Structure 1
Amino acid sequence: MGKKLGSFVFGALAFALVVPAPLGASDRHEAGAQLSLQSGPAANTGPRASQTRPETQAAPLNAVRYFVEFRSRTGFYGHTYVVYGQLDGRGKRTDVHYAGLYPEGGPVGFMLGHVLPVPATVDAVEDDLTDPVTEAYLRIVTAEEFAKITAAIGRLRANTQLWNALLNNCNDFAAELAQELRLRTPSTLLIPELFVSGLREMNGS
C-alpha cells in the first residue's frame, strides 16, 4: 500500500510539471497581443476604393459657334452666294446674313454684263431667299475665321463692285471669301452648282 501511494504521488507531480496550466484573463490578453504582433496587420481583402474620373463636361447650351455656307440656287444658269452667321448650343442658326455679287439693272443689266462690266450689289437679292438651293457647302469656322469673312464682305460692300459674266462673276466673289478661309477653289467659269460642289470636293466636309 505504501509503495502504491508513493507511486501515485510521484505520477501526480510528474503530470503537473508536464501539462501547462490554463491561461488566466491577463495571460490570454498578452498571448493575443503577441500573436497579433507576429501576424502583422490584417490584409485588406475588401474592394479597393474606386478612383473617380473627372466627368467630361458637355458643351454649354449657350456656347456660340460660327458658320459660313456657300450656296448655289436656280436661275438662268444659277447663282452663287454665301450665308453666314452663328449657331447656338442646340445647332440653331441665329444672326443669319446673306451676301453675293449680283448685277444691278434687272434682266437688262444681267444680259449687258455678259459683254461689259456693269454695276453690282453685294447684298442679297429676293431670289436668294426664295429660289430652291441646288448645292450647299457648309463650313463651321472659328471666331477668328468668321471675323475675316465679315471683314472681307464689309470691304467689298464699301467699294463699288462691277459684275461681268467672264471677268468678275458671283463665283469670283465666293472664291475670294473661300480663300479667306484658306480653301482651294475650282474654276470660277463653272456654272454655280458645279462651282459649289467642286469647292466641297476639293476641301472636304
Structure 2
Amino acid sequence: MPLTKGRLLLAALIACALSSCQTADKPPQPRFTSTSKDAGSATTTKVATSRYFIEFRSRYALSYGHTYVVFGKLDKNGNMISPEVAGLAPASHDPSQYVVGHFIPVPASTGWTDGDLEEQYRSASWRVLLSEAEYRDVVAFIRKQQAVSKTWEATVNNCNAWTGEIARHMGYKTPGIWLRPQQFITQLRQMNTTG
C-alpha cells in the first residue's frame, strides 16, 4: 500500500510541475518604468531624475524561461552603467540537474546566467527607479539573499520565489510562484502599478 501512495504522490508532483509549463509565452512585453515612491505612476518613457534602479525581468529560454533582477546605476539618458544581475538557477549547465531539480533540491547559483542581458531574450521587465538610500537597502538584501541561497527546486524554491522575496522586501505585492516567468513579471508590475 505505501508503494501505491508513493506512486500517486510522484504522479501528482509531476502533474503540478508540468501544468505550470503548459501555457505559452507572449511576444516581448513593453518596458515599464516606475518610481519607487509612486509605483502607481508607471510610464514607458525614460525618467532620468534617478541614478539608481532595479529591474525585475524575465527572459525566454529553451524551458519555460527565467526570472531575475538587474540593478545598478543609470547615466543621464537612463542607460544602464555596468549593471549587475541576480537570480536563482541551478548551478550546473548539465540539463539533467535542471530536470532533477523539479523533484529534489539541486545546488544553485545566484548571479548572471546566459542570456540575462541580451535584449532578444527579454520577455518582460519592470524597472523601478530608486533613491541612493533605497538602492543601498535593496542591494544589501540581495547580497544577504545570495549568501544564504544554496539550492534550487522548481516547485518551492524557484527563480520566481527568489525574485519575489526581493519585491516583498521593497514593499510590493507578489503573484504566485508557479507562473511562467513572463507572467510572473507582468503580474508583479500590474499588482503594484496603475499603468
TM over 0.5: yes
Q: Is the 8 A contact 2:50 2:130 kept in 1?
A: no
1:66 partner amino acid: Y
Aligned length: 144
TM-superposed CA distance for 1:160, in Å, is 4.4
Q: Is the 8 A contact 1:184 1:199 kept in 2?
A: yes
Partner residue of 1:20?
Answer: none
Q: Is the 8 A contact 1:72 1:79 kept in 2?
A: yes
Q: Which has the higher contact order (CA 8 A, sep 6+)?
A: 2
Partner residue of 1:79?
Answer: 66
Within 2, Cα distance between the matches of 1:63 and 1:70?
19
- Do structure 1's residue 115 and structure 2's residue 91 form an aligned pair? no
Partner residue of 2:123?
Answer: 134
Partner residue of 1:199?
Answer: 188
Q: CA, structure 1 residues 108+84, in 2 after alignment: closer, same or farther (shift >3 Å)? A: same
SS at match of 1:179: helix
CA RMSD after TM alignment: 1.8
1:81 partner amino acid: Y
Question: Which of 72, 75, 97 is equivalent to 2:84?
Answer: 97
TM-score normalised per structure 2: 0.69
TM-superposed CA distance for 1:168, in Å, is 0.4
Q: Which structure features the higher share of helix residues?
A: 1
TM-superposed CA distance for 1:156, in Å, is 2.2
5+ residue gaps, structure 1, are 1-61
5+ residue gaps, structure 2, are 1-47
Q: Give percent identity, aligned residues only.
A: 37
1:142 partner amino acid: S
